[in-house]
């Protein structure tokens, strides 16, 4: 029997599951890193991101990442309180592109349906947020890679719309990742993957869902208890983040002035 390891005390678990948008979510002050900061001393975040993967690949391993058998034993408390699920960008790739990760639209929808049903069935307290397929910057992809990587907004929009429709059908909060990014400058560093600004847009969308949800128990970090709050001092998180942002802006502005031609 596989040994179960755990670091105490027990906290709510949040899992980020998806492809490169998830794996790189700690890169460049990414949305995963920001979530981890917000949930410091309140919840643990597990990163399960796989660059280049599609929904078909996810079906090969999802039961290993989210084993249901824990629901039937004393370890049921390790089931996640929240899963943020993202696949679709690679699924929407042109099937004729070399080594394409393309998955036909109808299959993509059914794959996501299976993943969502499984995750929702992990426990009564497990919540799910789905992200649709994203927009891309086609011109920037071409400039970065010399080809379009098999990605286009025309096809990506169809996968995004299908993902949003599925989420609504399942009664699951779903973020229209396509509309959140489409046509916005500075949100990608290569035309597909998020800059800090792109991650901020996604984080704000996730934050809105979490704060507006009537989940019990709440997963709003501002309303969750702080671990060991009775020991030592605890700087107000938002104040600390604001001060850090101010210092970063000040440094950046200063450096920008130095780099400007005289």
pLDDT at 228 over 60: yes
User: Tell me, what's the pLDDT at 114?
Assistant: 98
Three-class SS of residue 48? strand
Tell me whether residue 193 is one of the annotated catalytic residues: yes
- Residue 162, token pair as written in the block: 């299908």
Q: Which residue has the higher pLDDT, 252 or 183?
A: 183
CB atoms within 10 A of CB 162: 20
Three-class SS of residue 53? coil
User: Tell me, what's the pLDDT at 249?
Assistant: 41
Tell me whether residue 220 is one of the annotated catalytic residues: no
- Mean local confidence (pLDDT), 90-99: 97
* pLDDT confidence band for 252 (50 / 70 / 90): very low
- Mean local confidence (pLDDT), 83-110: 98
User: Tell me, what's the pLDDT at 67?
Assistant: 94
- Residue 56, token pair as written in the block: 């078909």
List 25, 102, 193, 199, catalytic entry: 193
- Mean local confidence (pLDDT), 24-39: 97
- Mean local confidence (pLDDT), 153-171: 98
Range with the poorest average pLDDT among 8-17, 38-47, 144-153, 206-215: 8-17
Range with the poorest average pLDDT among 68-72, 112-116, 200-204: 68-72
List 44, 100, 118, 190, catalytic entry: 190
pLDDT at 124 over 70: yes
List 19, 20, 55, 132, catalytic entry: 19
* pLDDT confidence band for 191 (50 / 70 / 90): very high
Euclidean distance between CA atoms 113 and 170, whole angstroms: 8
* pLDDT confidence band for 1 (50 / 70 / 90): very low
User: Tell me, what's the pLDDT at 9?
Assistant: 77
* pLDDT confidence band for 230 (50 / 70 / 90): confident
Q: Which residue has the higher pLDDT, 74 or 227?
A: 227
With a pLDDT cut of 90, the percent of the chain lying above it is 79
* pLDDT confidence band for 253 (50 / 70 / 90): very low
Three-class SS of residue 94? coil
**Mean residue pLDDT across the chain:** 88
Tell me whether residue 236 is one of the annotated catalytic residues: no
* pLDDT confidence band for 246 (50 / 70 / 90): low
Nearest 5 degrees, angle CA 112-CA 118-CA 120?
100
* pLDDT confidence band for 233 (50 / 70 / 90): low
Q: Which residue has the higher pLDDT, 130 or 248?
A: 130
- Residue 76, token pair as written in the block: 């049921």
- Mean local confidence (pLDDT), 158-175: 98
- Residue 34, token pair as written in the block: 């920001």
Nearest 5 degrees, angle CA 171-CA 46-CA 197?
75
């Amino acid at each position: 029997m596989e040994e179960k390891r755990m670091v105490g005390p027990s906290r709510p678990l949040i899992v980020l599951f998806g492809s490169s948008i998830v794996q790189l979510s700690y890169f460049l002050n990414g949305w995963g890193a920001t979530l981890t900061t917000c949930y410091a001393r309140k919840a643990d975040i597990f990163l399960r991101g796989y660059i280049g993967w599609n929904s078909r690949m996810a079906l090969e391993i999802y039961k290993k990442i989210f084993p249901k058998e824990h629901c039937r034993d004393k370890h049921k408390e390790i089931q996640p309180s929240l899963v943020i699920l993202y696949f679709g960008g690679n699924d929407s790739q042109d099937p004729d592109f070399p080594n394409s990760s393309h998955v036909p639209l109808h299959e993509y929808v059914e794959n996501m349906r299976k993943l969502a049903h499984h995750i929702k069935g992990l426990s009564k307290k497990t919540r799910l947020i789905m992200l649709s397929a994203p927009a891309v910057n086609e011109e920037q992809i071409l400039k970065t890679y010399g080809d379009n990587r098999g990605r286009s907004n025309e096809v990506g929009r169809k996968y995004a719309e299908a993902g949003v429709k599925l989420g609504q059908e399942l009664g699951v909060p779903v973020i229209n990742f396509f509309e959140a990014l489409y046509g916005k400058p500075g949100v990608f560093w290569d035309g597909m993957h998020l800059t800090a600004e792109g991650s901020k847009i996604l984080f704000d969308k996730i934050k809105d869902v979490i704060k507006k949800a009537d989940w019990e128990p709440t997963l709003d970090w501002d309303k969750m208890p702080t671990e060991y709050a009775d020991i030592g001092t605890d700087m107000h998180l938002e104040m600390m983040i604001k001060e850090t942002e101010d210092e970063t802006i000040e440094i950046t502005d200063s450096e920008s002035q130095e780099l400007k031609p005289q």
